[in-house]
Structure 1
């Protein structure tokens, strides 16, 4: 990198605001598009950004693949070639510019680009940006841009024929696009094509910013030392001024520019820096950087970046049982609490800024501090990372490789090398990104899923060598060259068939669900960091009816069957339900209990992981969200409704939480404290029957150290003279409250007593609901046809206590508010 001669000086406030701006022009080309099939249909209007499925759907040429059994009816779309076209006008101001460039942020995937009928570009990677210089292309004031998208199958068949070996898993491995579009065990097969990101023209004269990377050289309480690496494209050797404003501080630097594209380093210091923290531990503070490139008395380019200051490290150190795996934020070990994130829609253009805002706000409300962006989806839009920066959510970012072995030919490797460089560079300033991970389960698949069977030693070695080139060389080099983030080769480090999975690295534990192990398995086998584990449930009543296009809950339709993508999904839900619950015989109750079942298992896992702190330092369940209406592992369904799991992990992820275990007629009570403060308070323990009578109690003053999990009480139940079937354990400490039951739900003697409710309008968009019962009501579920959100739900209503719930909605009334409890389920069958 070239170094600059710099001069630092505090400028007169707003001194540069009076300068004339001659910044690059950006002209959007997202209007007036049309599409047609290369060998079918006539020209129709198209939406850009978009894709062929949504364009066909807008014109009612295909049925909605998200409802009924329609997915199978639209598969023909992916077998066709599709053509898009538009015209664009160039003004005299654009023609006068010395540089004019046409940019594509995302073309999905195999495309040929023509301008005014002349071929200009081939693309083969939906994750890459492409550009075309227009200066040497004959242009007029009105021009035609035409793009022909070719079906992926043609290229994949050719690549497979030319491949030395038959690689797992299918032909998707040859195409660099979202892998989940080929079908997954929670998502449909909808292999899109089209202009899925922005198209625009950039025009400029002699100078422009190519990239700005704000690097931290050193950070402590007194000072942050930064090195801003600024890549500038210049048409000549010349001096320029870089004007930098950081919040209210203004700095000027003189740069000796060289002709061409070069990177220059500018040192910056910030005194008494404010650190960025996850939202559960502090303030996710962001500095506002504004850069202006000034030459010939004019502002030639400008760019704004929001940047947090923090240190984040993945700590993997040998210890007495294996090797640690945890994140250290600003020098302090942080327990990671969260889930795995997949694309919010099979059709990315349907995901609005409001969808991002709502989902990530839900993440914060649920006390999560980390999301893992799974490697079979997409590198998310900028707004996703912007919001994670602002809201204080750490991101584990997978590269987009999942559950397969990928080719190692020169062209493929060059393609992904450029993909990695572009994506890491794009995201390099985001303070939320804590880790780049090479792939999801590729290594585990090779070592444990039978992919090596019937292969020669030479073949196995060559396939593994191709793997190491990508995941031990190309990708970590990109992370090292274009970011300051740690790299992890593959998630998990070891498959669950390897004894080391419990003692080193991160783990994906699918004994529960795939191997039908009981939920208690989570308590017996706790890894160092759980980056995947999960259990399915049915979605909300709203989504079930949306799938069926009906107003009556029916789980036995062909439509519901087609929205369950796991071959044993329904069987496993029922098998686990029989173990712990009375199995309902009507569909509405069954869907409700399936959500309780999911929440029970995952919360058991979360609590087991947190109790094992600091041996275990993270728990990320599978999965946060859905890409279509489905029966899946999600805790928030396709229409944004919280399942029981989302409500219950809100408590399970609180910084200060209580966990209880039961073994050999003894109850062990743990305090889980993720705060960096010592807490002194009274611990109150009560055994209460379902009518509210306190059968036994104890109270003691205790001290809980900071950032710790600790067993603080053991209760022998044998001598308490209680009926475990109608008694619950209530533990309170400071802000934490835990209600635990002494038997499986199906064994509880629950009374079907009346719940008294009142509903009152509260402000412009809220209702205040109060509930009260003379007996304990287990897992109270409130639901209504009105769209909105209950602040709590699926909760235990204690006897003779008033519970207050807020429902946020635009509805005028809540006349149809209904209540479902486990009491009625257990008593009805």
Structure 2
């Protein structure tokens, strides 16, 4: 054999063995048209998409994010619509024995026809629908889908009951509930094909689902089971090959198949396993697995799974104070830091992978380790969960039920059961899934919000029976059977704020602040075991306001604001709280700025209080991370993706090691909180300074050690001994690389000094570096520019005589013109 003979032979053998799998999946997303039903005015449609977005792209409706346009497009969801396409199938595909048409998401009431034969009628936007079309498929095919308006169906369902369900009519339709209008979102009930359509063709065996399940984990060995669900037409002999591509290990099972759908298991092991951690505690390590179905030398079907080896537990145990509520990741208690997440766009198909990347980078950059996927939105796209796996973000996953009581008839409950099965099976492989929760506030609403009023005892019992069947029977059974390694939680919160057990058991939603007008100090006085919701509104960025008002100037009484503030008392509450804590500017731009400072001040006060209460409190998730359109809301990131002051300041409050100073009865207490896996030690420095930088008191503690189990008070001092004026001084506390500047009085009571902020700008490879200094303390320095880009920090305090370096990341080469606004300037006006 020549020197080239062996390599050529190996290349030939590799090519011979690397042919495409026998089973085929063909996308049917192309060449769609849509029209009002019966109109036959066909236009090009984008799939995945929605009727509203197709009309918008064609400029046949105004953009609902602008002005008051939302009201003018309600007719779209009141109309019936039709989609159609034609597709060809080649002879080799057509000759296969079985053909399955799959719909990953139809929104919502759809009748599907293939070659004029009715295949199925759908009634759930959250389910994957499929139909065997083996007897109908032709070389040339016409696929047609008729979407019926949800309004008429909801009215019909409501008439079947002799009472009104709380929050009807939306409760009858299994589609995103937030599309029916929320106190931060528009009423835009989308219709259309919102996820992929595909054709799966195979000869005898198809791989329906696979789940690589972690059975047990030790330092030296992880035992897993690959659960493989196969659908078989006739008896057959196949081989299932599970390969760990990360380690190179393969595991095989030779299986004799019988007709039908059955699950088979393949034992898998990993020596010296790398564990999946949240990004703040370690590496979110993922193994790359492939599952291959082979018959003789033919690969029938192959899929890939990213597998994170980890254990996650929700610990709810009785203790002398009530009942705990905390998560253990890999057998370590973890304080959960983060926010509540809603879909990033009311038009669901418009969120791209890049959008998800940016938003989830914002999450990790703000030191968050958990998001709560709120129950009024959607079970997110696979891309979202893949990114959370990669970035080390744990997810509290609600089922999609929110702030309502739902029907309890057999058809609805069966539909709900299948929805749960579809989504638990789809998402259970993701190590980021840390909890399944039945609903958002349904239980609290029933017991506290007057939903029982004007209903007979019989009606009340019927409604509650439906609730109990769904949230205490169906959903926990689905989770237990399909994803038993992750806990199920019936409802968030466990107890409403009218129940005395609110602060001592389960998770809590604190809306005494905002809805009930309680001061921000309430957060410090009333800490629960786990805060899964609390929040406060602010205005969005000036850019977002200019966008939806379509004006260059900022006018807070512009008519469109009435449509971009969905809370009836929102403006009033912002103004009322602002008067308590901040000066109230007359200038519109300054008012927007102070509203964001107010929000950040209140919410971070809560975060610091929750963390200082560790381990009694083991989670702080504020409402809300993001927006689905540009609006005045509780978000820390506005509808155009701009960070508000809250997100910048939450980034500091969520660091693993924080300093929490507290002033009580003229005694300054310094708490240290450490969320790392191992404790730290170092020098603690405390200085009290005036706003010119003069030191009024100074103390250094040479050796201080943190505790990862609990918050610790590491220093105390009675300040009255030093005749300190609280309104014109601050505490500067440092521990290692951690620093906290703490003020003794409310921002409005500070005697801030009016002085200039000096800036120097230098070009860098990623944008520009801005160096800032000031002779006196500058409160809440807000940097602005007209250039597009991202700030490394903003809305920060600048101590006197210190240089602060901020990076402005941008693609523009033009030196930006920097504008600076501070609370000092507003106080001096």
The TM tier, using the shorter chain, reads over 0.9
More moved, 34-43 vs 272-281: 34-43
- How far did 1:259 drift? 2.2
Show the counterpart of 1:633.
634
**Alignment partners' CA distance in 1, 2:537 and 2:762:** 35
More moved, 257-266 vs 348-357: 257-266
More moved, 170-179 vs 255-264: 255-264
- How far did 1:706 drift? 2.5
Q: Deviations over 1:376-409 (max 9, x none)?
A: 0000000111011111000000000000000011
**Alignment partners' CA distance in 2, 1:119 and 1:206:** 25
- The answer to whether the Cα contact below 8 Å between 1:582 and 1:746 also exists between their aligned partners in 2 is yes
TM-score of the pair, normalised by structure 2: 0.97
Alignment RMSD, CA only?
A: 1.3
Show the counterpart of 1:22.
21
- The answer to whether the Cα contact below 8 Å between 1:677 and 1:707 also exists between their aligned partners in 2 is no
**Alignment partners' CA distance in 2, 1:293 and 1:243:** 7
- Equivalent residue in structure 1 for 2:186, among 180, 188, 196: 188
- How far did 1:41 drift? 7.2
- How far did 1:20 drift? 4.1
- Equivalent residue in structure 1 for 2:165, among 164, 167, 187: 167
- The answer to whether the Cα contact below 8 Å between 2:163 and 2:455 also exists between their aligned partners in 1 is no
1:340-355 alignment runs, 5 A limit: 340-355=340-355
Q: Deviations over 1:228-266 (max 9, x none)?
A: 111112233232222222112223322222222211111
- Equivalent residue in structure 1 for 2:140, among 139, 142, 149: 142
**Alignment partners' CA distance in 2, 1:807 and 1:612:** 36
Other structure's SS at 1:627 match: coil
In structure 2, the gaps of 5 or more residues are: 1-12
In structure 1, the gaps of 5 or more residues are: 1-13
- The answer to whether the Cα contact below 8 Å between 1:277 and 1:285 also exists between their aligned partners in 2 is yes
Other structure's SS at 1:708 match: coil
Show the counterpart of 1:788.
789
Show the counterpart of 1:122.
121
- The answer to whether the Cα contact below 8 Å between 2:226 and 2:242 also exists between their aligned partners in 1 is no
Q: Deviations over 1:311-368 (max 9, x none)?
A: 1000000000110000001111000000000000000111000000010011000000
Show the counterpart of 2:730.
728
- The answer to whether the Cα contact below 8 Å between 1:342 and 1:374 also exists between their aligned partners in 2 is yes
**Alignment partners' CA distance in 2, 1:267 and 1:715:** 61
**Alignment partners' CA distance in 2, 1:382 and 1:815:** 38
- How far did 1:617 drift? 0.3
Q: Does 1:825 align with 2:826?
A: yes
- How far did 1:17 drift? 8.5
**Cα 1:249–1:566 shift into 2, 3 Å:** same
Q: Does 1:234 align with 2:232?
A: yes
More moved, 588-597 vs 109-118: 109-118
- The answer to whether the Cα contact below 8 Å between 1:21 and 1:298 also exists between their aligned partners in 2 is no
- Equivalent residue in structure 1 for 2:764, among 758, 762, 765: 762
Show the counterpart of 1:569.
570
- The answer to whether the Cα contact below 8 Å between 1:276 and 1:285 also exists between their aligned partners in 2 is yes
- The answer to whether the Cα contact below 8 Å between 1:676 and 1:707 also exists between their aligned partners in 2 is no
Show the counterpart of 1:655.
656
- How far did 1:814 drift? 3.5
**Cα 1:608–1:310 shift into 2, 3 Å:** same
**Alignment partners' CA distance in 1, 2:178 and 2:298:** 48
**Cα 1:156–1:712 shift into 2, 3 Å:** same
**Alignment partners' CA distance in 1, 2:132 and 2:647:** 49
Show the counterpart of 2:4.
none
- How far did 1:40 drift? 4.8
More moved, 384-393 vs 256-265: 256-265
- The answer to whether the Cα contact below 8 Å between 2:767 and 2:813 also exists between their aligned partners in 1 is no
Other structure's SS at 1:496 match: coil
- How far did 1:463 drift? 1.2
**Alignment partners' CA distance in 1, 2:644 and 2:40:** 42
1:350-369 alignment runs, 5 A limit: 350-369=350-369
Show the counterpart of 1:751.
753
Q: Deviations over 1:189-220 (max 9, x none)?
A: 00111000001111111222111111122111
**Alignment partners' CA distance in 2, 1:542 and 1:23:** 52
Q: Deviations over 1:485-520 (max 9, x none)?
A: 110000000000001010000000000000010000
**Alignment partners' CA distance in 2, 1:509 and 1:466:** 27
- How far did 1:815 drift? 3.3
Show the counterpart of 2:8.
none
**Alignment partners' CA distance in 1, 2:602 and 2:816:** 34
- The answer to whether the Cα contact below 8 Å between 2:210 and 2:229 also exists between their aligned partners in 1 is yes
**Alignment partners' CA distance in 2, 1:733 and 1:275:** 30
- How far did 1:88 drift? 0.9
- How far did 1:142 drift? 2.1
Other structure's SS at 1:531 match: strand
TM-score of the pair, normalised by structure 1: 0.97
**Alignment partners' CA distance in 1, 2:443 and 2:746:** 38
- How far did 1:369 drift? 0.3
